[in-house]
Structure 1
């Protein structure tokens, strides 16, 4: 097994199946990913402190984790949180002919591509004009009798005049509903024809700014599924640390490979799920190996941990998380910092050269990821999950080239300074 290093700690207080045609096709194409707390983001609030942004990210992560956990625990857990929306990284695409810019959340946990559309009976505020299908030369409604509509079940149904309509609800109470149609999508200079997407006429999100979602999971409606053979089933992203000024990006068709110091681990495909799932075998703290007992969905078997771009923190079932906390406490001689969040116990004031910082490794099937610690007041990217879910969040993935090869059924991690 090989080891790689990554930033997985957050500095808190330092300043420090439709017809697919691609025109102008290349072997790959790349788009910028904009974190919601970036000055480039419509969500950016310069008045928030770093600690306040972190607290908001924790809340979004907790709400997001509900969709991966046990249903009976979700209602009470969500009720205790104040939602400021969901989604972490946005990308810009052009929809229609002529193309209209849409800034949507790039989400490995969603299947559908959707955006707000005119005429909108209920919409949220967004920086760009809404997409108007009436002025696009390539907009085509989908019929509910077509297989492309049933492929998106259970969120689709038959509407007026036999149109394929959809409604998708999210765990924080947000929702979108409208028509399913096909349309041209432009990413950079690459144009994808006849992409199935949701044209939302009633939309409710708990934060204004985003125009929709760009689904990237294994489902039939995701952007990656539409691109299919044109990108050889491969996409990758490189996420800079969430409060840094460095650029993040997503690439389609780039086959970078894990490299000499990288790690490749197999994907596990479970019936009824379109999510990307990995197999976590253990976590070690300074050489003490803690065998992972499994999660609420997946047990100790293969596919016991989701990898997700839309969750900031890495979630571990609470009992196992407490074991990790106990091992870290044995070797950390730094003062603990109370963040006021249940399950977030791994925060320390760690400035100074006399502080002992442990080596933490996540042992995935096929390879280990060594989590590199920075000095200052820090929080490990782990958090205990009240829903007993297991999610590998985007903080732990920062400064990696993370490559999904759907044909090979693998995810690879190669160390990079994303920029």
Structure 2
């Protein structure tokens, strides 16, 4: 399996730019790997507003009041983040492009500039979450015509772009302009912007579930730069990633008021095309690693990249870091990692409650050149072992030959990161990212401001958010043993009965589950067509869902991201329910064992010939499990240009 989602690459070709701006050569950070240690890939999540029991004390109320006041004065694009970093390997947000708007789930990437989505005309694009962009269905779409400042497709007379990334995936297509909308939470009105319409994608870009990339890096095609150039936001944006076992989070395009205790580091745009910080020292349990500060200053320096899953240190720094961590561990046992293809550093004995990790693992401090210090909790450098309960592994690895220090998303979980480009600094503030929107009282769907003069209106915006989830599930106090939901379909009851088996397969495929997990509970006529009750069981021999997986499924259902083709028609999720493991009936918990027992008893009752016939029939139909994963080659985090 791949080591995680890695997105630190190098652009090899010039990309097209607008008529009214100068040409530029930019570096993109977008190598993409699938998450490691997983038997299957999960779909895109809705925002999760899950809280731990003591999370409320983390948030600074005065900061929230300042932020609310600033938002009233200077509207910005407030957006939710979806997915879980280690389950999916990335975070996504939603953008709507065109008139009427077409929805896309895009990976937020501070190391990429251009924003792109698959185009309807794409001859080599994968099967992603949403339908491809259809330019002819948007009344406001305009191709970016050839000009002296762009790479041009002479045949189509249109500007083009091309990206190649470190793990050998690539994206190429044409550039166009259209109205981009930021969702119901945003106070920023829809804006016209340039984006890429893909005609070809390869590698992990082809296989990923997300539709494309939202470029937040430095460069004239960056969505941030375009909004700043239009003077609709200030030159700043912020990301806030959810914590371990929670996921979700928040993003703001535009300025926010920093809390008084936010820690800042200088970020030099002339040093590197990537967002860098001036890391001087790393302390473990209060003790500085015996390193020359120059070790963190190689090539691009210390790069902060939202699109990379883990963190990577130069060899000398990694050896000292690993040794210091291991010297501070007492009462934990060193065990093998979840993937035999990697020599992970893992430990068991810490328990399954992530909030108690600080009792077993030391605090790690990053000290910046200005003397300010940012402390990392264990969740900022550990990931859960996927095969051993209560075990954790280091999420900081040794980088390749490139001396750049690369800090991925794991480092900033439950951290508000402010990219203050105007003042050339990046800020860090520990908080609970997954409940940030709730505490700001904007978790509903407020009406969008009126469309500005000269811009084109959009006819619809983001769907309503998923219902809130009881905190007992969020904190892990109660395990989720069963998911049930009722679906209303416009298809007639008499017609649906013959299609029900096929429909269960479609639902399993859309939710990326095994078909054995999806069970029909009831099917009844309804005034709108048919009403179906479904039950979803944990996979394999598991008795319960992880919190992130269960929320994943519910969010997909509530936000209507199941694509039902003909003849099923339209559907609505009438209600859903999470059943605790303790409340599941004996039959629900042991239905597979009962079924297997009945089958075994039947076989015993057969004649010897019958037994031989069944054995021979099954032997001829042996197949490879559908969730089998082929190990991937490990990729270096950084390559030389």
For residues 240-251 of structure 1, what are the structure 2 equivalents within 5 Å?
Answer: 240-244=242-246, 247-251=248-252
What TM-score do you get using the length of structure 1 for normalisation?
0.73
Counterpart position of 1:332:
329
Counterpart position of 2:75:
27
Post-superposition Cα deviations, 1:211-258, rounded to whole Å, max 9, x if no partner, equal 1111000111111111113221111111112531x531111124131x
Counterpart position of 2:555:
none
Match of 2:433, SS? coil
State the distance in 1 between where 2:287 and 2:392 align.
22
Match of 2:418, SS? strand
State the distance in 1 between where 2:155 and 2:255 align.
42
For residues 165-180 of structure 1, what are the structure 2 equivalents within 5 Å?
Answer: 165-180=160-175
- Relative to 1, partners in 2 of residues 1:130 and 1:260: Cα closer, same or farther, differing over 3 Å? same
Q: 1:406: Cα distance to partner?
A: 0.7
Q: Which has the higher helix share?
A: 2
- Relative to 1, partners in 2 of residues 1:97 and 1:109: Cα closer, same or farther, differing over 3 Å? same
Q: Which residue, 199, 210, 223 being the options, matches 1:201?
A: 199
Match of 2:82, SS? strand
Post-superposition Cα deviations, 1:122-158, rounded to whole Å, max 9, x if no partner, equal 11112322111112122122233254x3xxxxxx444
State the distance in 2 between where 1:113 and 1:96 align.
14
Counterpart position of 2:159:
164
Match of 1:230, SS? coil
Counterpart position of 1:255:
256
State the distance in 1 between where 2:196 and 2:343 align.
36
Match of 1:98, SS? coil
State the distance in 1 between where 2:125 and 2:115 align.
17
Post-superposition Cα deviations, 1:100-130, rounded to whole Å, max 9, x if no partner, equal 0011111111000101111221111123221
Q: Which residue, 370, 374, 379 being the options, matches 1:369?
A: 374
Decide which moves more: 306-315 or 182-191: 182-191
State the distance in 2 between where 1:33 and 1:104 align.
10
- Relative to 1, partners in 2 of residues 1:36 and 1:332: Cα closer, same or farther, differing over 3 Å? closer
Counterpart position of 1:304:
301
Q: 1:330: Cα distance to partner?
A: 2.2
Q: 1:381: Cα distance to partner?
A: 3.2
Do the aligned residues in 2 keep the contact of 1:218 with 1:275 (CA within 8 Å)?
A: yes
Q: 1:341: Cα distance to partner?
A: 6.0
Counterpart position of 1:183:
178
Q: 1:36: Cα distance to partner?
A: 5.3
State the distance in 1 between where 2:155 and 2:219 align.
26
Post-superposition Cα deviations, 1:36-59, rounded to whole Å, max 9, x if no partner, equal 57xxxxxxxxxxxxxxx67xx7xx
State the distance in 2 between where 1:385 and 1:343 align.
14
Q: 1:161: Cα distance to partner?
A: 4.7
Match of 1:231, SS? coil
What TM-score do you get using the length of structure 2 for normalisation?
0.49
For residues 376-395 of structure 1, what are the structure 2 equivalents within 5 Å?
Answer: 376-387=390-401, 388-395=403-410
Match of 1:378, SS? strand
* Residue 407, structure 1, aligned to residue 422, structure 2: yes
For residues 212-231 of structure 1, what are the structure 2 equivalents within 5 Å?
Answer: 212-228=212-228, 229-231=231-233
Do the aligned residues in 1 keep the contact of 2:295 with 2:317 (CA within 8 Å)?
A: no
Unaligned stretches of 5+ in structure 1? 1-16, 38-52, 58-86, 150-155
Counterpart position of 1:102:
104
Q: 1:343: Cα distance to partner?
A: 6.8
Counterpart position of 1:9:
none
Match of 1:35, SS? coil
Post-superposition Cα deviations, 1:257-311, rounded to whole Å, max 9, x if no partner, equal 1x2332011112236x421011110111223212354459x428xx611001111
Decide which moves more: 374-383 or 102-111: 374-383
Do the aligned residues in 2 keep the contact of 1:294 with 1:304 (CA within 8 Å)?
A: no
Q: 1:393: Cα distance to partner?
A: 1.4
Q: 1:350: Cα distance to partner?
A: 4.2
Unaligned stretches of 5+ in structure 2? 1-16, 22-72, 383-389, 435-641
State the distance in 2 between where 1:213 and 1:355 align.
38
Counterpart position of 1:144:
146
Q: 1:369: Cα distance to partner?
A: 1.4
- Relative to 1, partners in 2 of residues 1:121 and 1:242: Cα closer, same or farther, differing over 3 Å? farther
Decide which moves more: 400-409 or 351-360: 351-360
For residues 60-139 of structure 1, what are the structure 2 equivalents within 5 Å?
Answer: 88-139=90-141
Match of 1:176, SS? strand
> Which structure's CA Rg is the greater one?
2
RMSD of aligned C-alpha atoms?
2.8
